[in-house]
Amino acid sequence: MYIAIEGIDTAGKSTQIEALTKHLQDVVVTKEPGGTKSGRQIRQIVLSGEVKSKKAEFLLFLADRAEHIQEVILPNKDKTILSDRSAVSGIAYALASKEMTKKELVELNNFATDNIYPDIVFLLWLTPQELHNRLSQKTLDGIEKRGSEYLLDIQNAIKEAANLLGVNLVQIDATLPKEEITKEILRHVKK
């Protein structure tokens, strides 16, 4: 099963993936971008804030996604794959930039992924107040420096992106205790 944990920065994706590995068997943990050697380089470029063009940023994400499908997802399709982000957030970021049409975004992602998407996506949802609180407690990267309003737009766009791709999305309140979030995810995974 291919599972993606989605959410804006500070939502708790990494925390949940770590917790889930203790409850699931035969697990492969990965991330987008950055789940492959070339993906780590792409991730560094994007997070550095060096890329100014939103289209260029999107194309870098597509390159990472294509590599990720070939190197991580397909070779491990008989295992449980836990991914920190997926094509869903890639499309969400592109939707927020308003540089391309929805049709173009879906077609380009279908091309990059060979139409391979997560079986289920969990969106860890943050309130504006909780996002502001969490961001105030850390050093911000290039994406986070775009501000709370930008990140909240991304959060809303994640739901739209999942719908555009026809991916099963489950929204979970990210302000719940960590253990409750894990239990809720496992409840859906072990059906």
CATH number of the CATH domain containing 137? 3.40.50.300
In the three-class reduction of DSSP (H, G, I as helix; E, B as strand; rest coil), residue 83 is classed as: strand
Query: What is the structure's pLDDT at 191?
Result: 65
Q: Is 69 domain-assigned?
A: no
Q: Per the domain annotation, does 81 fall within a domain?
A: yes
182 belongs to a structural domain: yes
Q: Is residue 149 part of a domain?
A: yes
So what's the pLDDT on residue 47?
A: 78
* Residues sharing a CB contact under 8 Å with residue 146, sequence separation 6 or more, in sequence order: none
User: Which tokens sit at 177?
Assistant: 């205790």
Amino acid identity for residue 182 in this structure = T
- Asked if the structure places residue 49 within a domain, the reply is no
pTM: 0.90
Up-side HSE of residue 125: CA atoms within 13 Å toward CB?
11
Longest dimension (CA), the chain: 43
> What value does the CA radius of gyration of the chain take, rounded to a whole number of Å?
16
Say which residues have a Cβ less than 8 Å from residue 138's Cβ, sequence separation at least 6: 10, 144
Q: Domains in the chain: how many in total?
A: 1
Residue 58 lies inside a defined structural domain of this protein: no
Tell me if 65 sits within 8 A of 109, measured CB to CB.
yes
pLDDT of 96-125, one tens digit each? 888 889 999 999 999 999 999 999 999 999
The answer to whether 175 and 10 have CB atoms below 8 angstroms apart is no
Which of 32-36, 95-99, 135-139, 170-174: highest mean pLDDT?
A: 170-174
Whether the bond into 128 is cis, omega within 30 of 0: no
Check pLDDT > 70 for residue 140: no
Residue 54 lies in a domain: no
Please give the structure tokens belonging to residue 78. 């008989």
- 88, two tokens: 């869903």
Range of the domain at 91: 2-29+77-189
Q: Return the closest-CA partner of residue 96 out of 58, 65, 44.
A: 58
pLDDT at 48 over 90: no
Residue 143 lies inside a defined structural domain of this protein: yes
Q: Among residues of the chain, what percentage have pLDDT more than 90?
A: 69
52-93 pLDDT, tens digit per residue, is: 888 888 899 899 999 999 999 999 999 999 999 999 998 998
- Give CA–CA dist 170/54, Å, rounded: 28
